[in-house]
């Protein structure tokens, strides 16, 4: 027998995991980052479907292994590039999900196109496992190590390559793996390997513009570039985002959100700065004259500077520095600015430093850090903490951030901010105005709860809320607002034609005077949220305005199913923009994942496992097999997805969380699977107990880590995250091979059916876990997973069998073990 293609398997696995994470980055540019969980589902579907198809083609695999393995590896490389290019040409637009009945079909087309590369990659691993039965542990080991290396390697690679260049490299890596596999399998002719290497070279030489992500025309950057004479003058790419700096020669860009309609001055010339095509932020040309910044006193976020004198200011999410200039204009004695993206900071301090007047230099001390981590690590107290307005109005109002975690607006975040205020200091948060009110009321509710949890008996005495025609600003004071404070707030609003929404003792007639809307909804909502019937008001409100927490950090999730009929009835009156498009897209993805998994995995394997399809006497209870493998499939993915989302706060960015958590689960679940092969008759109940204890330890330690370790360097936080996940993942890698060994010992022909059940569960669970996390929180999703492992322990197939893990010689699919599913 020829040697197993170990290096080729490692290369394919690394390329496949790198491709999975790269697609998440690409989708952040093309659409929005919450499509990441659809990509995880795609990967699982591809791996599971490959097992089903190869089970049906077992004879061909045994006869033509080398040729089929190399074809699948090269097919992955070609499909990784080709299918992405085709998917970009599918006219899918999540904003039209309820306008255009074709959009669900376009979403399915994208889903199936991007499935093909994972199908090819999964086929390589499955073929190697089924063909080289004596080397299963070595093949499985290099598969896991390759996957782990790919998940972390692509993040490092994206600091030096653009996403398009990284895509070409991944495609070429698939062809290199095919060439290496041909050589490792002892191919007598060398020309196939040389041809595959030449194909890899061709893929590397393709114009990178072909692979460049085509941004949605509805993103802010796309809309801005439609202005005549507008062009991108600088661009930086990293795992944290694609930063684009735009200028307009013919029509000067002017960005001052919510600028008073009575303002007598306009902003000086500006550049527009976008991250992944969204979140327009202004990089202002500043010549050193403070009077050129007078417009920054005519927006709602200027209010706290009229209540403080020469404050020490902390700006969270400083972006290109507009909030820093606002603090400078108002005479702040010291300014600390926190910005997550080092590429953006480098642009402002580098090529644009002179024109920007040293905004990140003499004017402010900039800290490249995640806002929550910086606050947690800081021992400083501030007179003013300003949370900048950096997200997109268009995407926010359309609900396209509905699935995104945001830890700046949670109850715990506001508590952290308040603890870092000097006595009499202010926390100021500016948000877009949406009608009917959503953002402002949800934020106000969070502030009320944060004050109550901090021991404040009368939260109303410390809160003030105002609105312009476009923005609202919430003030939370570390102490009661005085009559002098209230007089200043009133005068500020009157001078700028801004509306009062709440201050202690405010009367209804004072609201809704300048920027008149149908009713004083903000004032009425604020009063209700401070009253005894707060819970009833939140429950009956048309949108979801329950305060966001670190366990449920989806601040932008406002969707309520009971409001859907009313919103759809307003279609002809323009009511559909009130819907959250990200949420229904995820629901559609869940339905399509369920249908696709049943078709591509369930039906073929059910056909193989049908009664009378082979030899055997039906020794196993099929309901027990079904319950067991469904339970562990859902349980594994529930925990993995919940931990990815939960670690976004600790690791500072969704892509970091995905890469590190996947790496840790892959590595240690693989080790656990290997150890389980040596444990004869290990009871699944004991393993489930190990999972429960490890998960409980994680849930107990995470709040402490978030409070005390988020300020550590990236490398330290990554090591802590991996160490915390390791024991949990180790135990989670055991139930699947243990159950499969029992199935094989009792009725080997049901092994592929068991693999298919697990695959179906994993595909669906990847999306369902995200939906459940939005509604019940991460902790509840983990608890649900532990209950599922308990179900699995009670439904162990072949209970009473005391067998060691069976040899793979009887059935080629008996070693299609992978912790990803």
In a domain, 281, yes or no: no
In a domain, 128, yes or no: yes
In a domain, 138, yes or no: yes
Quick: pLDDT tens for 69-82: 899 999 999 999 99
| CA-to-CA separations, 470 to 217, 259, 431, 440, 515, in angstroms, rounded | 23, 8, 9, 12, 9
- Between the two ends of the chain, the Cα-to-Cα distance in Å is 30
Amino acid 652: pLDDT: 73
Q: How many CA atoms lie within 13 A of 294 on its CB side?
A: 8
Q: Where are the alpha helices (DSSP H) in 677-797?
A: 684-708, 714-732, 735-747, 751-776, 778-794
Query: What is the distance between the alpha carbons of residues 412 and 423, in angstroms, rounded to a whole number?
Result: 20
Q: What are the residues facing 270 on neighbouring strands?
A: 253, 284
Mark whether 535 and 635 lie in a shared domain: no
DSSP state of 363: I
Token pair in block for residue 188: 């007598």
In a domain, 344, yes or no: yes
**CB of 734 closer than 8 Å to CB of 397:** no
Mark whether 550 and 613 lie in a shared domain: no
Q: Please tell me the total count of domains within the chain.
A: 3
Query: What is the distance between the alpha carbons of residues 408 and 412, in angstroms, rounded to a whole number?
Result: 9
Specify the CATH number for the domain of residue 421: 3.40.50.150
Amino acid 403: pLDDT: 54
pTM: 0.83
Query: What is the distance between the alpha carbons of residues 631 and 90, in angstroms, rounded to a whole number?
Result: 35
DSSP state of 620: S
Token pair in block for residue 502: 């709440």
Query: What is the distance between the alpha carbons of residues 593 and 587, in angstroms, rounded to a whole number?
Result: 10
Mark whether 33 and 122 lie in a shared domain: yes
Residue at which a domain ends, from 515, 539, 555: 555
In a domain, 256, yes or no: no
**Among 647, 676, 638, 667, residue whose Cα is nearest residue 787:** 638
Mark whether 622 and 745 lie in a shared domain: yes
**CB of 47 closer than 8 Å to CB of 820:** yes
Mark whether 674 and 811 lie in a shared domain: yes
Mark whether 614 and 523 lie in a shared domain: no
Q: Where are the alpha helices (DSSP H) in 358-458?
A: 371-377, 393-397, 411-419, 439-453
Query: What is the distance between the alpha carbons of residues 441 and 521, in angstroms, rounded to a whole number?
Result: 9
Residue range(s) defining the domain that contains residue 433: 296-555
| CA-to-CA separations, 252 to 140, 348, 561, 715, in angstroms, rounded | 59, 19, 43, 43
| CA-to-CA separations, 719 to 109, 464, 726, in angstroms, rounded | 39, 42, 10
Mark whether 543 and 645 lie in a shared domain: no
Token pair in block for residue 818: 């992978």
- 657 conformational bin, left if phi > 0, alpha if psi -120 to 50, beta if neither: alpha
In a domain, 150, yes or no: yes
Q: In sequence order, what DSSP letters do the residues of 549-591 get, joined into one string?
A: -SSS--TT----GGGHHHHHHTGGGT-GGGS-SHHHHHHHHHH
User: Could you give the strand order of the β-sheet that contains 278-284, starting from the edge strand earlier in sequence?
Assistant: 230-238, 241-248, 270-275, 278-284
Mark whether 385 and 482 lie in a shared domain: yes
**CB of 386 closer than 8 Å to CB of 300:** no
Residues 6+ away with beta carbon under 8 Å from 269: 252, 253, 284, 285
Query: What is the distance between the alpha carbons of residues 122 and 43, in angstroms, rounded to a whole number?
Result: 9
In a domain, 656, yes or no: yes
Specify the CATH number for the domain of residue 171: 1.20.1250
Cis bond upstream, residue 436 (ω within 30):
yes
Segments of the chain with pLDDT less than 70: 1-3, 32-42, 51, 55-59, 61, 94-95, 97-98, 133-138, 140-141, 187, 391-404, 566-582, 585, 600-602, 604-620, 654-655, 677, 680-681, 744, 748-752, 755-756, 798-821
Amino acid 340: pLDDT: 86
Residues 6+ away with beta carbon under 8 Å from 127: 54, 61, 65, 68, 69, 72
Query: What is the distance between the alpha carbons of residues 279 and 281, in angstroms, rounded to a whole number?
Result: 6
Mark whether 671 and 545 lie in a shared domain: no
In a domain, 600, yes or no: no
Longest dimension (CA), the chain: 90
Q: Where are the alpha helices (DSSP H) in 206-251?
A: 220-224
| CA-to-CA separations, 779 to 36, 658, 774, 782, 821, in angstroms, rounded | 20, 18, 11, 5, 21
Residue at which a domain ends, from 570, 585, 600: 585
Amino acid 579: pLDDT: 56
**Among 533, 582, 670, 703, residue whose Cα is nearest residue 278:** 582
């Amino acid at each position: 027998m020829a040697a197993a293609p170990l290096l080729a398997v490692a290369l394919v696995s690394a390329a496949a995991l790198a491709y999975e994470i790269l697609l998440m980055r690409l989708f952040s540019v093309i659409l929005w980052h919450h499509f990441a969980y659809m990509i995880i589902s795609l990967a699982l579907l591809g791996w599971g479907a490959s097992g089903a198809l190869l089970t049906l083609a077992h004879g061909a695999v045994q006869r033509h292994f080398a040729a089929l393995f190399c074809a699948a590896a090269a097919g992955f490389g070609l499909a990784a590039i080709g299918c992405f290019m085709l998917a970009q040409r599918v006219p899918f637009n999540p904003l039209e999900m309820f306008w255009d009945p074709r959009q669900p079909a376009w979403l399915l087309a994208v889903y199936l196109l991007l499935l093909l590369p994972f199908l090819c990659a999964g086929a390589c691993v499955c073929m190697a496992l089924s063909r080289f039965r004596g080397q299963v542990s070595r093949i499985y080991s290099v598969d896991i190590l390759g996957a782990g290396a790919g998940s972390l390697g692509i993040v490092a690679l994206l600091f030096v390559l653009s996403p398009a260049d990284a895509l070409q490299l991944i495609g070429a890596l698939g062809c290199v793996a095919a060439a290496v596999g041909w050589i490792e399998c002892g191919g007598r002719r060398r020309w196939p390997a040389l041809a595959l290497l030449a194909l890899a070279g061709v893929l590397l030489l393709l114009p990178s513009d072909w692979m460049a992500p085509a941004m949605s025309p509805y993103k802010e950057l796309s809309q801005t570039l439609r202005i005549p004479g507008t062009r991108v003058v600088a661009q930086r790419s990293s795992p944290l985002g694609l930063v684009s700096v735009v200028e307009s020669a013919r029509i000067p860009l002017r960005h001052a959100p919510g600028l008073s309609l009575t303002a007598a001055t306009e902003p000086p010339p500006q550049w527009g700065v976008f991250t992944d095509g969204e979140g327009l932020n202004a990089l202002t040309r500043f010549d050193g004259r403070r009077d050129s910044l007078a417009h920054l006193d005519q927006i709602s976020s200027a209010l706290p500077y009229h209540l403080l004198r020469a404050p020490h200011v902390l700006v969270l999410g400083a972006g290109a520095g507009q909030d820093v200039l606002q603090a400078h204009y108002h005479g702040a004695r010291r300014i600390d600015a926190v910005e997550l993206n080092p590429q953006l900071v480098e642009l402002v301090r580098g090529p644009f430093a002179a024109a920007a007047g040293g905004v990140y230099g003499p004017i402010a001390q900039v800290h490249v850090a995640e806002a929550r981590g910086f606050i947690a690590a800081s021992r400083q107290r501030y007179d003013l903490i300003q949370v900048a307005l950096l997200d997109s109005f268009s995407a926010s109002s359309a609900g396209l951030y509905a699935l995104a975690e945001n830890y700046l607006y949670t109850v715990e975040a506001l508590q952290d901010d308040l603890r870092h205020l000097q006595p009499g200091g202010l926390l100021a948060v500016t948000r877009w105005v949406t009608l009917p009110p959503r953002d402002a009321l949800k934020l106000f509710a969070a502030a009320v709860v944060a004050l109550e949890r901090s021991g404040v008996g009368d939260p109303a005495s410390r809160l003030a809320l105002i609105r312009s025609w476009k923005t609202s600003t919430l003030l939370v004071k570390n102490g009661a607002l005085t009559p002098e404070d209230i007089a200043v707030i009133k005068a500020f609003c009157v001078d700028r034609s801004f509306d009062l929404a709440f201050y202690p003792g405010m009367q209804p007639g004072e609201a809704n005077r300048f920027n008149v809307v149908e009713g004083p909804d903000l004032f009425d909502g604020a009063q209700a949220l401070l009253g005894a019937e707060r819970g009833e008001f939140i429950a009956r409100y048309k949108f979801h305005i329950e305060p966001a927490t670190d366990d449920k950090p989806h601040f932008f999730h406002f969707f309520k199913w009971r409001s859907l009929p009313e919103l759809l009835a307003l279609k002809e009156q323009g009511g559909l923009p009130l819907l959250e498009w990200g949420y229904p897209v995820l629901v559609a993805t869940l339905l399509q994942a369920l249908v696709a998994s049943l078709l591509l995995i369930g039906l073929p394997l059910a056909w193989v496992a049908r009664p009378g399809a082979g030899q055997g006497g039906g020794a196993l209870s099929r309901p027990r097999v079904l319950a067991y493998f469904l339970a562990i499939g859902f349980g594994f993915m529930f925990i993995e997805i919940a931990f990815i989302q939960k670690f976004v706060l600790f690791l500072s960015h969704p892509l970091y969380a995905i890469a590190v958590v996947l790496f840790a689960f892959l590595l240690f679940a693989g080790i656990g699977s290997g150890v389980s092969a040596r444990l004869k008759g290990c009871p699944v109940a004991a393993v489930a107990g190990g999972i429960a204890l490890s998960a409980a330890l994680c849930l107990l330690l995470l709040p402490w880590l978030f409070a005390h370790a988020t300020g550590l360097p990236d490398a330290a936080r990554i090591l802590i995250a991996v160490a915390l996940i390791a024991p949990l993942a180790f135990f989670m890698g055991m139930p699947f091979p243990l159950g499969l060994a029992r199935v094989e010992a009792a009725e080997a022909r049901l092994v592929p059916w068991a693999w298919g059940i697990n695959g179906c569960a994993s595909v669906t669970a990847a999306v369902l876990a995200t939906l459940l996390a939005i509604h019940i929180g991460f902790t509840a999703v983990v608890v649900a997973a532990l209950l599922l492992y308990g179900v699995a322990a009670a439904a162990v197939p072949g209970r009473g069998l005391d067998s060691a893990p069976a040899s793979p010689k009887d059935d080629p699919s008996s070693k299609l073990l992978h912790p990803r599913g």
